[in-house]
Structure 1
Amino acid sequence: MKFKAVLFDLDGTLVNSLIDIADSINKVLSEQNFPTHSYEVINDFIGSGLRNLVTKALPESCKDEISINTTFESMVTVYRDNCIHKTAAYDGIIELLEELKSRNIKLAILSNKADELTKKIGLSLFPDYFEIVMGLKSEATKKPNPAAAIQISADLGCLPEEVLYVGDSGIDMQTAKNANMYAVGVLWGYRPKEELLAEGAQTIINHPLELLELL
């Protein structure tokens, strides 16, 4: 099978966004007199969208719907202003995108981050590479639901099996499997190799340019 497109996750795959996410949620928690968290702890909260991150970050006694909604709204406001402050592409990503573009491989982003924020980060840091940049539009379509991935492949003019799906988490590997795409796990992101393999990674790569070997 000749691959015609690459669909990338965003956080932990294309960009290291941990510091901006952590600083934003800790600012929100601090303003509400809640305990804050280390970067290492918040690293484990990332991957299932900001609402899920907020829920995990709140104290156990404050996980009611009103507290979650209020904190989530504050998080979106703070993070919107800080989401490209310290966030940057991982080493080798720009070189990879340049090479893929030169080979006429179609490129897209799919993230569980809110659509507005995904577009802000994706289009700010990578203005010249992606035909589609899509984030979470509703909880019902959150990855590993494959609906958005399948829609992106159709919009790119590809069959799902013609798409490499590249991500750093078990959720990404599940999404690729559910969408009938080829699952590539990356080791420079937020999750360990064991999780990627357990959730269906078909190839594991240690550096972005290793992806070219699959083409």
Structure 2
Amino acid sequence: MNHAPHSTAHGPPGPEPDRLRLVVFDVDGTLVDSQHNIIAAMAMACEGAGVPVPPHTATRAVIGLSLAEAVATVTPSANDGQRRHVAALYKQAFVALRSRPDHDEPLFPGVHRALEALETLGCVLGLATGKSRRGVDAVVERHGLEGRFVTVQTADDAPGKPHPAMLLRAMAAVGADPDRTVMVGDTRFDMEMARAAGTDAVGVGWGYHPVEELTAAGARLVLPRFEALAANLPWSAGARAATPA
């Protein structure tokens, strides 16, 4: 007697279910152009603490680090007490600058369109930044970015860049794997953090560190404009594997 095949017979394995895709952004120099306020606040803080004011280029080079590490780097002749004083004055200065009616920290061109494109692709978005939580909240509110970022990691809660802790925490918070996570930033600290966490590293060419420095630190590519991001995610068809000329 012939029997029909059982309905539960095993066939060829189906495709792997699509896994969550996480794109994590730096803030200063990547989403917002804030260098003028950071440089001004550092100068005000150093002057108030009686330590030499660093050149603009020196302060620009440490944007992205935690405040304590940034202050230590730009005040090599200061002692620990003076550095703590500079850090406290920096926070006061930045709040004062942010409260001025002429305060301006504009988004870089294409930010809203790029975030919308990523959300349309089903990506989850996050932030990993050396800014304080209060500073991040101010940026998000000022630019109408509320609800965009599912995970927000700051140096208030974890070791600063290039330590991988913030990126590891972001992945853990949403259940993302390193091979489905992209870190987007403008400094070598972002690229080094991404490599240490085992994720993809994408640099941006409009920020505060030179393109060559980003590439040397491990950037897979450096974007010429924000609109190019969605097409160059590692899971996108035709994504570039090298920095564009």
Q: Deviations over 1:66-93 (max 9, x none)?
A: 1000111111122134348221210111
Q: Where in structure 2 are the equivalents of 1:1-215 lying within 5 Å?
A: 4-58=21-75, 60-61=76-77, 63-83=78-98, 85-125=103-143, 126-137=145-156, 141-214=159-232, 215=236
TM-score, structure 1 normalization = 0.88
- The answer for unaligned runs of 5 or more in structure 1 is none
**Alpha-carbon separation, structure 1, partners of 2:109 and 2:212:** 23
Letter in 1 for 2:109: D
Does the Cα contact within 8 Å between 2:20 and 2:124 map onto a contact in 1? no
Question: Given the superposition, is the C-alpha separation of residues 86 and 64 from structure 1 closer, same or farther in structure 2, using an over 3 Å criterion?
Answer: same
Decide which structure has greater strand share. Answer: 1
SS in 2 for 1:89: coil
Q: CA deviation at 1:176?
A: 0.8
SS in 2 for 1:10: coil
Identity of aligned residues (%): 26
Decide which structure has greater helix share. Answer: 1
Question: Given the superposition, is the C-alpha separation of residues 172 and 150 from structure 1 closer, same or farther in structure 2, using an over 3 Å criterion?
Answer: same
Letter in 1 for 2:86: T
Larger Rg: 2
- The answer for unaligned runs of 5 or more in structure 2 is 1-17, 237-245
Q: CA deviation at 1:204?
A: 1.6
Letter in 2 for 1:181: T
Letter in 1 for 2:183: Y
Q: CA deviation at 1:3?
A: 7.0
**Alpha-carbon separation, structure 2, partners of 1:141 and 1:54:** 15
Count of paired positions:
212
Q: Deviations over 1:99-154 (max 9, x none)?
A: 2223321100001223332333234322241112221025x622222122122112
Q: Quick one: higher RCO (CA 8 Å, sep 6+), 1 or 2?
A: 1
Q: CA deviation at 1:35?
A: 4.4
Does the Cα contact within 8 Å between 2:204 and 2:223 map onto a contact in 1? yes
**Alpha-carbon separation, structure 1, partners of 2:33 and 2:180:** 27
Question: Given the superposition, is the C-alpha separation of residues 102 and 37 from structure 1 closer, same or farther in structure 2, using an over 3 Å criterion?
Answer: same
Letter in 2 for 1:30: E
**Alpha-carbon separation, structure 2, partners of 1:3 and 1:205:** 23
SS in 2 for 1:141: coil
